[in-house]
A and B are shown apart, each in its own frame.
Chain A
């Protein structure tokens, strides 16, 4: 029984990770072949960094991810605080459900509705070239679909914190605004940061919505890779994927270490209270 469970575990991990390792391996291949590994080289990495198209796409993707993560974090945190402050339990529940709908909604529906929306905007403002508002449209679209995730990550923190610290801050002379920034924000920061990281990664690997909303003059990496697969996949895409995988892996380790530290702190706190 013990062996069976181990074998099962190995099987799952091999299915999950063998394709990824193959991809990483072949990104270091000398030859343009997916069948045999002819020798180690950084050829495809060099080629990748020499291709201006890839580089622009990478820059676009990062720019969009950073901006939409920042925007959605600011708006989402404000929204979470607003939802927390609502008096009526009914409206509170209704608003929370409404903000959650975009998460359940298939991306393809969100993408299409966004596309229609921006087409309507072009019509109303008499804009003939979509490229003019393309970047703004992408930013709005990405911020919008990241928003519920930020709220989902921040709201429980705010609920958990309660009013006592804010009241103490007000009592000691803070205005409501400075009470939020001086006391509440630092104490919900872990939720805000994890919301931002989530928004960043969601924006980074979004394909479906970008496919519908993206203008021709602002291509992101997922869109570029997709357009390349229509021709022939070259190993420089493996190199790119490897870089992405490693980045995500590092990000994950960092966030795990952070939350591990936090768990320790909480344990200490609880111990101290007793």
Chain B
């Protein structure tokens, strides 16, 4: 796995406002990499710079060892699946997919063969003569993928390609995209704000916020070893508590000293401690390391979501056992459930569930989706 694409110190601003700040990133051949972050974090701009639709103010872009910062989009062996598909309405399905081949003056027989093969791959055989405007969102999506893949690009860029689809279709397309990527063995660079999508599809996730890369790693790394409060909060649910590192493998928080697995911090260094809701065991108050009062319980199907007040800080706990609201419970936390992070500019901004409510969460999700 060699470096196929490399971004070195890429910065970009619009009207004096920084959107990207010193992005350093390399992308290996044949990998499925996801740029993940909230709206306005710069992930789409990064993708557009790789695709050649924007030029960076500073920094260089390398492809296969050669600099391509000034190579126009049409000369790059990189194709894109656009957010709104961007199918050509004046052409039918067949001609849309054949478009890149027609540009290269490919013989008619070969075009027919390759388009038929592509249509088969995206399960749209028999749709050749349909007008693209009569297709459903999912079908348009498949045509866009087929069109982007037919000229055998080295890299496929996907800009929130599943954003406009409903949940069920989105899950199916996730699997389909992953299997297409495996089958043809090329690099996929995927942009999304949906952390679940990123976790389930990617080989590597790049978490971005405020025009900077927060963390690069495999999905398990990102989930289990978040680098700062932003990453911990953005990927999954997490309780982020202020703590103090007493010595290696010992952290003190909420008046209790916990054993943990983290090392290499200074003695007495203030830190952020991440504890995932599913890693906390609910026990009797006298058996708990911490005790708190339950303030809310929500049934979620697989588990109950319990909000517990511990010394004024609201924790979220997921448990399969029901506890009554207002009850006092004990919490038991295994050493490997504790993850210690250095303090960052995001400390204190995330990870407290005192203002948490499901409706609020959905509202802000809808807002985020609309911005795209």
Residues of A within 8 A of B (CB): 164-165, 167-176, 178-179, 182-183, 186-187, 265, 268-269, 272-273
- CB contact between A168 and one of B86, B104, B151 (< 8 Å): that residue: B86
Contact A171 B79 (CB under 8 A): yes
Task: Evaluate contact between B136 and A272: CB separation under 8 angstroms.
Answer: yes
B80 x A168 contact (CB < 8 A) = yes
A269 touches B133 (CB 8 A): yes
Query: In this assembly, does B350 line the interface, its C-beta being within 8 Å of a C-beta of chain A?
Result: no
CB pair A167 B89 closer than 8 Å: no
Collect the chain A residues with CB atoms within 8 Å of residue B136's CB.
272
Known: A172-B151, A173-B103. A183 touches B82 (CB 8 A): no
Give the docked Cα–Cα distance between A170 and B52 (Å): 9
Residue of B nearest to A179 (CB): B74
B300 to chain A, nearest CB (A): 31
Contact with B103, one of A164, A178, A186, A273 (Cβ below 8 angstroms): A178
B88 touches A174 (CB 8 A): no
CA distance A83 to B6 in the complex (A): 36
Given A164-B86, A167-B86, A172-B79, do A273 and B137 touch, yes or no (CB 8 Å)?
yes
Which residues of chain B are within 8 angstroms of A265 by Cβ–Cβ distance?
A: 133
In the complex, the number of residue pairs spanning A and B with C-beta atoms less than 8 Å apart equals: 69
Known: A186-B88, A187-B89, A269-B89. 9 other contacts (CB 8 A): A168-B86, A170-B53, A170-B73, A171-B51, A171-B73, A171-B74, A172-B100, A176-B74, A269-B133
Docked pose: A187 CA to B73 CA in angstroms:
21
Please indicate the chain B residues that have their CB under 8 angstroms from the CB of A268 in the complex: 133-134
15 A-B interface contacts by CB (under 8 A): A164-B82, A164-B84, A167-B53, A167-B80, A167-B82, A168-B80, A171-B73, A171-B74, A171-B80, A172-B151, A173-B74, A174-B103, A176-B72, A183-B88, A187-B90
B133 contacts A172, CB within 8 Å? no
In the complex, chain A residues whose CB is within 8 Å of the CB of B87? 168
Chain A residues with Cβ below 8 Å from B80 are 167-168, 171
Q: Are A165 and B133 in contact (CB under 8 A)?
A: no
With a cutoff of 8 Å between Cβ atoms, the chain A residues found around residue B276 in the complex are none
Pairwise interchain contact A167-B73, C-beta atoms closer than 8 A? yes
Q: Is B188 an interface residue (CB 8 A)?
A: no
For the complex, give the distance between the alpha carbons of A170 and B54 in Å: 13
Query: Does B135 interact with chain A (Cβ within 8 Å)?
Result: yes
Please measure, in the bound complex, the distance between the C-alpha atom of A273 and the C-alpha atom of B164, giving whole angstroms.
10
CB distance from A87 to the nearest CB of B (A): 11
The B90-119 residues at the A interface (CB cut-off 8 A) are 90, 99-100, 103-104
Interface membership of B142, Cβ < 8 A: no
Least distance between B70 CB and chain A CB atoms (Å): 15
Q: A265-B133, A268-B134, A272-B135 are in contact. Are A165 and B103 (CB under 8 A)?
A: no
In the bound assembly, the distance between CA atoms of A73 and B4 in angstroms comes to: 46
Chain A residue nearest to B53 in the complex (CB): A167
List residues of chain A with CB within 8 A of the CB of B137. 273
